Structure 1
Amino acid sequence: MSRNEDILLITKCLLNDDRRAYTRLIDKYHPQIKRFFLNQTLGNVMLSDDLAQETFIKAYIYLRSFKGLSTFSTWIFRIAYNVFYDFIRNQKNTEDYDLEVAGFEYVQSSEKIAREIDIYRAMQILKPEERAIVQLYYLEDMALTKVSEVMDMPSGTVKSHLSRARQKLNIYLEKENYRYGE
């Protein structure tokens, strides 16, 4: 689906209250948004599902505010980031996620599970903003300008967070004896 197709679906939603058109938008962006939340929550599947659902509900409610100045994907990721930021801010108890009990949806090899737990542990050392920037830039393959829009931060600040996050991850991975190419 292209940007024009997204605009057409949004128009159908707004003018005709076409819920099937919105369902198509959800189908397109749900995997990316869910992956975003899985990485932000360090593998908590149930919480990721709840946050993704809240994101799509908010997007539907505020669909009229989408002006097309950015792509729909940038707009929906901005909502997702705000949903996660609100969740973090509203946490009364700053609990650490139990990585050993993180709910994986399917049976995986023990080596793959161990690698994923290592990744979540590495991501856990990052501040929430750094973790979001790393994910958007590397996993969602967004340009720095798009990451800047989603995060509502100047490009220089995004670059600084990304640089610090890389440095922290490199130090952590070296301590854990990870080598490039392994």
Structure 2
Amino acid sequence: MKGAQTSRLTSLHDVELAALSAAGDRAAFGELVRRHGSSVRGLLRRMGAPASEADDVAQDAFLAAFERIGEFRGQGTFVGWVRKIAARQYLRRLQRDKRIASLAAEAQDLVEEPRAADGAGRIDLDEALRALAPAERICVSMCYGAGLSHAEAADALNLPLGTVKSHVKRGLDRLRARLAPPSGQSEGRRENG
């Protein structure tokens, strides 16, 4: 019987699972966690959380999402909604631990010279994000990984909107420079694209 229920749940859309979860179906919510847990943890890692902390914050975010599942109306994706919850919880944790100031001081130690992609031409986004200054990494991750607007990120970080926009712009510029193909390798593609 349990296998049939699991099979039924895996075929449902996230919005349907959220509705079942809001009605008290814990197995439906478990399916949402199974589907999206690694994505949420990945976002937190990109924001700078060590693996164990990313696991803890992701678990807390899913618990908060379960408690507030009735607020999810399907106007966006479930994974986007829970990522926003996780990003905000991680930022509150950073603020509570007063690490934002110490992260900014470490920025000079973390910035490395750009390295070329490996022989297969793959680009390691996580490595490129780690090379950003912590404030830039957090702002870029929140706006592009969690899907927050600049205003939402500014509110979550308790920073002025212009500061968040500056961090995002500098972070994106550094990522473009770091992830750009070596000069002369794909000139034709850039001119045509």
Specify the TM-score bucket, using the shorter chain as the normaliser.
0.5 to 0.7
Q: Does 2:93 align with 1:87?
A: yes
C-alpha spacing 1:93/1:78, structure 2 compared with 1 (3 Å): closer
Take 1:64 and 1:150, find their aligned partners in 2: how far apart are those partners? Answer: 25
For residues 91-137 of structure 1, give each alpha carbon's deviation from its aligned partner in whole angstroms, at most 9, with x where no partner exists: 1345559xxxxxxxxxxxxxxxxx7885354134543212433545x
Q: Which residue of the partner structure matches residue 60 of structure 2? A: 54
- Amino acid in structure 1 at the alignment position of 2:89: V
Structure 1 runs not aligned, ≥5 long: 98-114, 137-145
Counterparts of 1:91 and 1:23 in 2: how far apart (Å)? 30
CA displacement at 1:5 relative to structure 2: 1.2
CA shift in 2, pair 1:13/1:65, >3 Å:
same
CA distance in 2: counterparts of 1:132 and 1:120, whole angstroms: 12
Q: Give the counterpart letter for 2:169 in structure 1.
A: S
Q: TM-score scaled by structure 2?
A: 0.60
Name 1:24's counterpart in structure 2: 31
Gaps of 5+ in 2: 1-8, 107-123, 155-160, 186-193
* Residue of structure 1 equivalent to 2:13: 5
- Measured on the aligned residues, the alpha-carbon RMSD in Å equals 3.6
Cross-structure match for 2:143: 133
Aligned residue-pair number:
146
Report sequence identity in percent.
20
Secondary structure in structure 2 of the residue aligned to 1:123 = coil
Q: Deviations over 1:138-176 (max 9, x none)?
A: xxxxxxxx54399467xx9787654321223456x4xxx
Local SS of the residue matching 1:69: coil
1:12-161 equivalences under 5 Å are 12-15=20-23, 17-41=24-48, 44-94=50-100, 95-96=102-103, 118-119=127-128, 121-127=130-136, 128-136=138-146, 146-148=147-149, 151=152
How far apart are the structure 1 equivalents of 2:19 and 2:150? Answer: 23
Shift in CA distance, 8/89, structure 1 to aligned 2, threshold 3 Å: same
Greater relative contact order (Cα < 8 A, sep 6+): 1
Equivalent pair of 1:9/1:25 in contact (CA under 8 Å): yes
